[in-house]
Amino acid sequence: MICVGIALAMSEVPVLLIEKHGLMERVHDRGGEREVRFLWQARPTVLPVWHGGKLKVVTWGNRDRRETKLPPTGWTWQETVESGWWSQLAPEEVVIPASFGFANGVWFKLKVGVRGLLVHDRQGKPVVFMLTQPATRYYEIMCRSDWAPVLVDEVIWRLTPLFETGSRRVIIRTMPDDVAPVLAIFDRLAPQLVR
């Protein structure tokens, strides 16, 4: 299962949006920090997005299949966007702000959020689809998913420890995209370097 939810710190959501969209029922406590959860299973199915310089809450995907020109899902592959498949719908890339993502029962920390694709339905209302890509090996193991959300300015990686002390430690880091290829090489070579 792909990323089926996000959580955003309540301090990041304006009170007017919380009231307008009835988001108080989505508020949860995570270690003393209140957050608003946006889950695919919730009704209405919505996500926060930065669009036109403003934070908005918009419909997430076409779950109810009411819109025949949109796919009956809440996600789209990055390669589908790059192929031009969405071009007839005048798509706009947006940021879905998030403190955490949720997939297969696992909450994972995010720095900024997830990339999304915003289009408009026949009535002109905005609809967002979460962008996905093939998962890194660590994300695949952590969330038991071959597909991962396209994150903003980070990639979830596993760094192999430089030494072991009785029990193996797994260090989780998130890195900018341009560092990812270097880390992939290091991750493959590190076991050979450690004695």
The single residue listed with the structure tokens 């819109």 is 67
pLDDT surpassing 70 at residue 195? no
**Side chain identity at residue 181, one-letter code:** P
Q: What pLDDT is stored for residue 171 in this prediction?
A: 40
Q: Of the ranges 72-81, 118-127, 171-180, which one carries the lowest mean pLDDT score? A: 171-180
Q: Is a pLDDT exceeding 90 seen at residue 115?
A: yes
Model confidence pLDDT, tens digit, residues 41-73:
999 999 999 999 999 999 999 988 888 889 999
pLDDT at residue 172, rounded to an integer: 41
Q: In 10 A of CB 25, how many CB atoms?
A: 8
Beta bridge partners of 102: 5, 107
Domain-by-domain residue ranges, the chain? 5-136+142-149, 154-193
Name residue 119's beta-bridge partners. 127
Q: What is the DSSP string of 17-56?
A: HHHHTTGGGGEEEETTEEEEEEETTSSS-EEEEEETTEEE
Q: Which range (22-36, 116-130, 160-174) has the least confidence? A: 160-174
Please tell me which residue, 4 or 144, carries the higher pLDDT value. Answer: 4
| Model confidence pTM above 0.85 | no
In our burial notation (b when 16+ CB lie closer than 10 A, e otherwise), range 68-80 reads eebeeebbbbbeb
